[in-house]
Amino acid sequence: MTSDEHLQRAHDTGTGAGGITVELPDGSRRELEAGATGADLAAAIGRRLAKDAIVIELDGHLVDLGLPLPDGAKVRIVTAASDEGRHVLRHSTAHVLAQAVLGLWPGARFAIGPPITDGFYYDFDLPGGVRFSDDDLPRIEAAMRTIIAEGQPFERAELTISEGLELFADQPFKREIIEGVGAAATSDGSASGEGAPLLDPELAAETGSGAVTTYRNTATFVDLCRGPHVPSTSRLGHFKLMRVAGAYWRGDEHNQQLQRIYGTAWESAEALAAHLHRLEEAERRDHRKLGAELDLFSFPDEIGSGLAVFHPKGGLIRRLMEDYSRRRHDEAGYEFVNTPHITKSDLFSTSGHLDWFAEGMFPPMELDDGQAYYLKPMNCPFHILIFRSRQRSYRELPLRLFEFGSVYRYEKSGVVHGLTRVRGMTQDDAHIFCTREQMADELDSLLNFVLGLLRDFGLDDFYLELSTRPEGKAVGSDEEWAEATEALRRVASSKGLDLVLDEGGGAFYGPKISVQARDAIGRTWQMSTIQVDFQLPQRFGLEYVGSDNTRHRPVMIHRALFGSVERFFGVLVEHYAGAFPTWLAPVQARVLPLRSDHEDYAAEVHAALRAAGLRVDVDSASEPLGARIRRGKMEKVPYLLVVGESDVAAGTVGVNVRGSNDPERDVPVADIVERISRAAVVGGYDQASGVAVSPGVAVAP
């Protein structure tokens, strides 16, 4: 039953004579008068809940708080401080934004205004080619606060297609949405039947099922929307408009470019302030800014968008990441392989990538009398060919192939973002070929390996996401998908982590588990993925000879641990705010002679640290000591070692540890060498970053 059908049911059954009984989430029941609404139910439960409630969930669908409740319904009160409640707050605040803009710019045309993660936006076309600027935002906010102070009700109505078109006669974007609903409804008598044109999710949020639904706030402002919304604008107020941007209508670069205003809205002033603080902290940690400041990487215009070059310090960190990963993979029984960057098109035709992933691939190159070659977007078909290169026996399984493989994906310029969304990347790709009987144990081992390695890099706050079959974009039987999905679900459920279902989010060839990691400021990043694949072994005719001397089909498991080296690098930069733990820091210690006549002793200290395998440099006394210390702190060097006259005589150093405001004096050289050596191991306590990472593994300089 759709949300609109629930509304009709409530209208039909909630206004009769006598009383009604509804069931609450804890299984208890409440008796109410006929015609009682969600607001009445909240008030009957308690004064605080009545104050906090903004919508209700009625038999699994969110609806307005003022809707009459049907007899026998299952009802849950949704408050503003929940994820669903914030979603509604933001949607309603977007409507207030639209009303404010239309009032300030008469003749403006408004498009869509959905809630998004942590906020909302609305798209506009202003009359006479007028452009928004950030200077307009305070004026718009003031108009919004006036609307909120008026306590305008959100009044829902259902219209026919023709009534909707008449109501929005001067709003072409609204009319296009309504016409899309009409076309969908007439294609098979419903709004969502097979063959009906599909609206974008944001557009679908503006409409009901086969009808035009609107919310009116005043006699002069009404918006196209399926809801639900807060009861009145007085329930809003903790918001801030963030920025102005451009956006193409319906996300299509061939359509008209509109002006978009982004905002954020929360349930309280405290929640809004905390969010704004997180944004400030995220800006401070922005890996693009830190990458330039710390001289780690860049994106030269001469090379192209989304194609990074790593500078010596960034290249060193990257090598340390890759070398440590190689060591752990070697210990876990992986075989190392290497594959080329391009291939004939036939390979990706067989794999299905040209059918399902072509829009994410670079255009082909025509070589060898018209033969099409592609830059590879994936490593998996290459690893399949390695498996298929000779007859395989069950004794070789599980066969774990691993590669740091460069891949290329054509991301649209609008979504390319630093290292976290690039066009050229290196994936730490593994593909495991195993028997069906080995699959469960292999998945369990894989997930343990993934979580352990991520913890080694300082990420330890996880939840798991299970992505299922994408309808209309998948190959294989329902039974195979069900078996693969259930195997992943059992393994994920055994780890004691929250498991979130991502319906339809799997790849075309199989479901997947994604490890979602929270960073130092609570943001979530998708990290490792593990996918079960019955399809590609079939498409490539993979076989092994079993213990019964007959041929069997292997199961293929795809696994990317970092996701890509570039993206993981960017995540670590932001997680640590550029202050990498000592084992990953490009310079672990810097020696600062107080005067030029102390430089010979500084060289001796440098040599002692180098002999211990540490990465160390010397900043000579050509500048004042204070300037050199400030530079070392800006470069986030974990240990700054100052040597002066007394140190030369006593064989000591002064120690400035990153993050500490208390310099240490007269520390013997042998002691500081031992301290930094301990910190430079993946494990133990790292004083310079205040983190402890798991196993004690020495890292080569």
CA distance 101 to 141: 10
Backbone angles phi, psi at 226, to 5 degrees: -90, -10
* Amino acid, res. 315: G
Query: Would you report the helix, strand and coil content of the chain in percent, each value rounded to 5?
Result: 35, 25, 35
CA distance 597 to 617: 17
Radius of gyration of the chain (CA): 30
Show which residues are catalytic.
380, 409, 427, 429, 431, 512, 558
Residues 6+ apart with CB under 8 A from 674: none
CA 75 to chain centre: 32
CA distance 300 to 345: 30
Bridge partner list, 557: 432, 532
What is the bridge-based pairing of β-strands 639-643 and 589-593? parallel
DSSP assignments along 615-681, one per residue: -EEE--TTS-HHHHHHHHHHTT-SEEEEE-HHHHHHTEEEEEETT-S--EEEEEHHHHHHHHHHHTE
Q: Is 465 helix (H, G, I), strand (E, B) or coil?
A: strand
Spell out the long-range contacts of 479-486 with Cβ–Cβ below 8 A and sequence spacing 24 or more: 480/534, 480/535, 481/510, 481/511, 483/534, 484/510, 484/511, 484/532, 484/533, 484/534, 485/511, 485/532
CA distance 287 to 290: 5
* Amino acid, res. 371: Q
Per DSSP, helices labelled H in 14-135 are 38-45, 47-52, 83-104
Nearest to 469 by CA among 417, 424, 440, 506: 506
Q: Is 388 helix (H, G, I), strand (E, B) or coil?
A: helix
Residue 309 in tokens: 């070059």
* Amino acid, res. 239: F
Using H for helix, E for strand and C for coil, what is the string for 584-618?
CCCCCEEEEECCHHHHHHHHHHHHHHHHCCCCEEE
Side-chain-side CA neighbours of 696 within 13 Å: the count stands at 5
